[in-house]
Structure 1
Amino acid sequence: MSLPATMRHVDLPTHGGPEVMHLVEGPLPSPRPGEVLVRVEAAGVNRPDVAQRQGAYPPPKDASPILGLEIAGEIVGLGIGVTDFQIGDRICALANGGGYAEYCAVPASQAMPFPKGYDAVKAAALPETFFTVWANLFQMAGLTEGETVLIHGGSSGIGTTAIQLAKAFGATVYTTAGSAEKCAACMDLGAVRAINYKAEDFVEIVKEETQGRGVDVVLDMIGAAYFDRNLQVLAKDGCLSIIAFLGGATVEKANLAPIMVKRLTVTGSTMRPRSPEEKRAIRDDLMTEVWPRLERGEVAPVIHTVLPFEDVIEAHRLMESSEHIGKIVLKLG
């Protein structure tokens, strides 16, 4: 297959607002051993992209400095040692960087075939949120059938994914969101109660709903601003799983007694620094446990809008506005 010498990609010459990004021409990446080169048809937009653009989430030393952590498209090149895929396969993948580009090299161990019936846009909306939710909600927090979970930010890409997966695996889901419209969307996805955090106290509501018991797991992207209240809302032997710090990373004062009294676990992680072996294990779980559910239509990505690649600035502005419900996807070509 003949490939062009150059490609368009989003350049980030300095950190700052969305307007610092612009499209430039540059060389194609070369797949390293164990990687595949993908002609990108669609790329997801995620909060970590915004954080990297702002200078708060630098890429690992061996990763592309180009923004973008999830892609979908066609494999056009194979690195040494790749045996799971071949030229022409259509895959979506969790990228370590480089997704906002016409071509992207990704580890084959982080790539997955399109679920049956999916196009590139739907497939590009899967990797980052599904990897994150599976790792934090199921692998680390251990959510299982019959348990209860509170998911903050239920209308976000992470939230809409977490609600659906938790319900699909037999959990009872409570969630928070910032408007009546967003709460209604969360209920449609499977939450038994969506709490408008601007008008209601989620601690009071959850305790009422659970007859004072609390929930087994809290999936939190707010951080410091919710820390004490998250401990209050957990049941005995519960787990608080923190995946972002939209409400700050530093807790000035906290009552740690509930951790001891209720035998709580507090955990958290970011996806990007995880080892290739850890990401492969998450990928393998998703292929076994989640892909069949996607293909049966039990869960599906919620896509708020699809924008042309050239509108990346608008995509980031929308992400920062938090006015969206579900995923924002860029379409190339």
Structure 2
Amino acid sequence: MGVTETMRAVRIAEHGGPEVLALTRVAVPTPQAGQVLVRVSAVALNNTDLWTREGAYGRPDDPEALSGWRGPIDFPRVQGADVAGRVVAVGADVDESLAGRRVVVDPAIYDTEGPDANPVGLMGSERDGGYAEYVTAPAKRVHDVTESPLTDEQLATLPTAYGTALGMIERGRLRAGETALVSGASGGVGLALVHIARARGARVLAISSGPKIDAVREAGAHQVIDRARGIAEQLRAAAPEGIDVALDVVAGDLVSEGLPLLREGGRWVIAGALGGYGVHFDVRRLYLHNAQVIGSAMHTPAHFDLLMDLARRGEIQPVVAAAFPLDQAAQAQEELARRGHVGKIVMHP
């Protein structure tokens, strides 16, 4: 499985625009005890890549501070959380039968060992990621998907977008027969939410706009609400009985408008703030109706196991919007930032 000594990688040495992404040659990392070395076949892009590069996450004591996902970034950093590839070497104390297997890496760094651990770091932010020819990963975070009917590109789209979506759906306790609202439905997480909620047997109402509406309908939404027109009125007409679970990556004004549309005991799950992080709502709509507002960051190990089961069975069909070579990482991120696409953007090292 000859592994070379150096590899191409795209790193950032500071926060900034796409120009800080630098293609460079670095040593191939050596898998430590408990780790494997993965040759990257495909790496998918996420908003997390843009926000980590820009330092857009803020800090608890200073919302405007330049910061990575969970604090200061240790530069230089190889970006990229979402990796599909093949195991080419294993470190000490790792089952050697993993070598040669096609795998997806769970990019989360967890706070404890258990199945319900919380993610407190992310590959490509708190440790080096997959914008490279090779990446190391803990063996217990590497999932064998050799038998999956999905392509390497499709598998690479799963960890962050589908992991985040499944985390939202699990934390929101979405059940078959319930009505789910999905905001930002044409984005990576949004489309994943539509796919998984539909596979769960929920009735899916999705918010999108313009030319993307047809693609969201194709992904399985029962009804698409046009963001360009009054959202609340359209929702009342589409779900006169109310919404059971809102799966929201937009937040902002949508929370204030949407909370009164929840049914008794409804759940509003938030995993993003594309529409703004300052939110105002009437708290009476919360407690009088036993509603819940739930924050959801990515997934737990148990959620990721569920996701990999879906991938092995081919029960979800991720949409790949575009593919770029590694040396066009800046163009790929610019394409992502334009939000003109439906589905996920990937790169090939």
Same fold, TM exceeding 0.5? Answer: yes
What does residue 295 of structure 2 align with?
Answer: 268
Does structure 1 residue 259 correspond to structure 2 residue 279?
Answer: no
Residue 278 of structure 2 corresponds to: 250
Cα pair 1:112 1:283 within 8 Å, conserved: no
Please list every run of 5 or more consecutive structure 1 residues that lacks an aligned counterpart in the other structure.
Answer: none
Distance 1:315 1:233, change over 3 A: farther
Query: Cα offset for 1:123?
Result: 1.5
Partner residue of 1:291 out of 311, 317, 329:
311
Q: Is the 8 A contact 1:224 1:245 kept in 2?
A: yes
1:111 touches 1:283 (CA, 8 Å); kept in 2? no
- Identify if the C-alpha distance between structure 1 residues 27 and 93 changes in structure 2 by more than 3 Å, giving closer, same or farther: same
* Cα pair distance change 1:85/1:133, threshold 3 Å: farther
State the SS of the aligned residue for 1:11. strand
Please state if 1:310 is matched with 2:327.
yes
Which consecutive segments of 4 or more residues in structure 1 shift more than 6 A?
A: 61-64
Q: Which amino acid aligns with 1:120?
A: D
Asked if structure 2 preserves the Cα contact closer than 8 Å seen for 1:109 and 1:283, the reply is no
**Separation in 1, partners of 2:22, 2:253:** 34
Residues 14-93 of structure 1: matches in 2 within 5 Å? 14-57=14-57, 58=68, 65-83=77-95, 86-93=98-105
Give 1:90's aligned amino acid. R
- Partner of 1:250, secondary structure, is coil
Unaligned segments of structure 2, at least 5 residues: 58-67, 108-122
The reply on whether 1:209 has 2:226 as its aligned counterpart is no
Does structure 2 conserve the Cα–Cα contact (< 8 Å) formed by 1:16 and 1:53? Answer: yes
Contact persistence 1:94–1:111 (CA under 8 A): yes
TM-score, length of structure 1 as denominator length: 0.89
With 233-242 and 91-100 compared, the bigger mean Cα shift is at 91-100
Aligned residues: 317
Output one character per residue of 1:93-123: Cα deviation in whole Å (capped at 9) or x when no partner: 2322211111111233332233533332122
Name the CA distance, whole Å, in 2 between partners of 1:9 and 1:43: 12
Match of 1:182 in 2: 212
Q: In the superposition, relative to structure 1, how do residues 293 and 233 fare at CA in structure 2: closer, same or farther (>3 Å)?
A: farther
2:231, 2:36 → 1: CA distance?
A: 45
**What is the Cα deviation at residue 36 of structure 1?**
1.7
Report Cα offsets for 1:53-75 as digits up to 9, x if no partner: 00124256899932111111110
Secondary structure of 1:317's aligned partner: helix
Distance in 1 between residues matched to 2:285 and 2:143, nearest whole Å = 41
Separation in structure 2 between the aligned mates of residue 30 and residue 209 of structure 1, nearest angstrom: 55
Kept in 2: contact 1:71–1:99 (CA 8 A): yes
The residue type equivalent to 1:158 in the other structure is V
Shift of 1:292: 4.8
Does structure 1 conserve the Cα–Cα contact (< 8 Å) formed by 2:155 and 2:311? no
In the alignment, structure 1 residue 125 sits paired with structure 2 residue 157: yes
- Partners of 1:80 and 1:131 lie apart in 2 by 29
**1:145 counterpart residue number:** 176
Label 1:263 to 1:85 Cα distance change in 2 as closer, same or farther (>3 A): farther
In structure 2, how many angstroms separate the alpha carbons of the residues matched to 1:162 and 1:81? 37
Q: 2:5, 2:255 → 1: CA distance? A: 50
Shift of 1:85: 5.1
3-state SS, counterpart of residue 118 of structure 1: coil
What's the CA shift for 1:303?
Answer: 0.9
Residue 156 in structure 1 maps to residue 187 in structure 2: yes
- Taking only aligned residues, the RMSD between alpha carbons, in angstroms, comes to 2.1
Is residue 106 from structure 1 mapped to residue 137 from structure 2 by the alignment?
Answer: yes
- Residue 310 of structure 1 and its aligned partner are, at CA, apart by 1.3
SS in 1 for 2:334: helix
CA distance in 2, matches of 1:25, 1:230: 49
Distance 1:235 1:222 in 2: 20
Counterparts of residues 162-241 of structure 1 (less than 5 Å): 162-179=193-210, 181-198=211-228, 200-211=229-240, 213-241=241-269
Identical residues among aligned pairs (%) = 32
The residue type paired with residue 206 of structure 2 is T
Q: What amino acid does structure 1 have at the position aligned with 2:6?
A: T
